[in-house]
Amino acid sequence: MNPVQRFFRRYIFSTIGILALFLVVNLLLILTVLTAGYMSGTDNGLSVREVSGHVTEQAGTWTADGTALALLREHDAWAMLLDERGAVVWEQGLPKELPRSYTSAQVASFSRWYLQDYPVKVWSREDDALMVVGFAPGTLVKYYFSMETPSLMMFLMGAIAVFVFNLLLMVFLMLRNTRRVEKAMSPILRGIQDLSRGSYQPLDERGELAEISAGLNRAGDYLMQKDNTRAEWIRGVSHDIRTPLSMVLGYASELEDDDTLPTEARQQAGMIRRQGERLKSLVDDLNLTTKLEYALQPIHRETVNLTEIGRQAVSEVLNSGVPERYEITFSEAHPGHAARMEGDAALLRRMLDNLIRNSIVHNPQGCHISVTVSAEDGRCTCTVTDDGVGMDAAQLEALNREAVVSSTQGGEHGLGLKLVRQIVKAHGGTVRFRQAVPHGLEVFISIPTRNV
């Protein structure tokens, strides 16, 4: 899954999470409102049963004690007690316009609805009397709901179907909108990724995000033009330097080998030749690192033996005339096991050559340089170690961040090591710079064999 797909996948999951949270919160709010309404409206704060309990019959006369009267006054209510024939046998605050006798049909009616305009509540006593408590018009709402079971089930199923349909519609619209955004954004995100790798392709400047695509195209054209100009300038400079540099090296070699010149003059000619060769190596490194950076140098992959490449690199450095104060050794971590891998033999040899010469350049007092090659667990490794001056922790940290680091002699571990990193990266490997024990610099390189 590429970064673009991961981005929109997280976007979809976050949107679904927000939708689920929205539904849960709304469900909790509905339950809270219903519960609060039920708790606040239960029995209007006045219990008809409690009032009825304080109304008793004594010697054929119905009376209410002080508690019942206090409850009625507190809630601004009136009350009456009906016997089994519907006649009022006791009343308290009963409005004058209301009748004092009721038929069974009237009792059934106001038990479910209203007594004229008065909302009432009833309680059936054990002595077959009926306690009725009434309130002022508009204080209570009474509603009787009745529905046949099939109709109720149809209503519930329809409500569930509508809810599910709306939920699915919301999810569909959300996914459709996400797809539209993904379709519009994917080319832009891929263009940004390509631009970071230096292989930008112009985007279509149509659609909802045409302005962004146009701006990215302008930025891509500018960066590509800038990179091409830089690469052409480096190639031109490298080409123009070769001819005069070859003449300098040729004349310096002739002067160094001329026995008729004084010894001091020949030594100076030799120094000119060595510095010229170093300059030629730097120019070659600059040209090669530019080609690798702008993908102008194809990687010729073939099955190679890193052990043989290591021996060749060490031999070439030794045969080039290394001063006696430098000792270079080569070893195999697992003798007899060939370190075979897929790679470009010339680039790998150049990588090891740069590491060895880096140790020589930055340790003018001399040092011991060790090159070790190994192969295990599907990877080929190479370690180049010297016991020279090394670097402190801050320099090593900066070097591992691919920054240019000043050496203790005032030079720079820059172009040569940058080229090493580029070659290792082109082969899918990693490189780490560490402090050698007890002192010096250790460079550890690990490259996958690619199942050769």
Please identify every stretch of the chain with a pLDDT value under 50, giving residue numbers as ranges: 42, 404-413, 452
Is the Cα torsion angle 406, 408, 410, 413 positive or negative in sign?
Answer: negative
pLDDT, position 291: 66
Q: 228-283: per-residue pLDDT in tens?
A: 777 677 677 776 777 788 888 888 888 888 888 888 888 888 888 878 877 877 77
Q: Distance between CA atoms of 375 and 448, rounded to whole angstroms?
A: 9
- Class of residue 417 by CB neighbours under 10 A (exposed 0-12, middle 13-18, buried 19+): buried
pLDDT, position 279: 81
Q: 303-323: per-residue pLDDT in tens?
A: 999 999 999 999 988 887 788
pLDDT, position 38: 63
Q: Distance between CA atoms of 148 and 155, rounded to whole angstroms?
A: 11
Which CATH architecture does the domain made up of 298-448 adopt?
2-Layer Sandwich (3.30)
Q: Which two tokens stand for residue 9?
A: 């996948």
pLDDT, position 180: 75
What is the signed CA dihedral for 271, 275, 280, 282, rounded to 10 degrees? 160
pLDDT, position 409: 38
Boundaries of every domain in the chain: 3-41+147-188, 46-134, 210-292, 298-448
Class of domain 210-292: mainly alpha
195, HSE (Cβ side, Cα atoms, 13 Å): 21
pLDDT, position 354: 87
pLDDT, position 322: 84
Q: Do residues 119 and 140 make contact, with C-beta atoms less than 8 angstroms apart? A: yes
Number of Cβ atoms within 10 Å of the Cβ of 367: 22
pLDDT, position 383: 94
Q: Do residues 399 and 434 make contact, with C-beta atoms less than 8 angstroms apart? A: no
Q: Distance between CA atoms of 343 and 337, rounded to whole angstroms?
A: 18
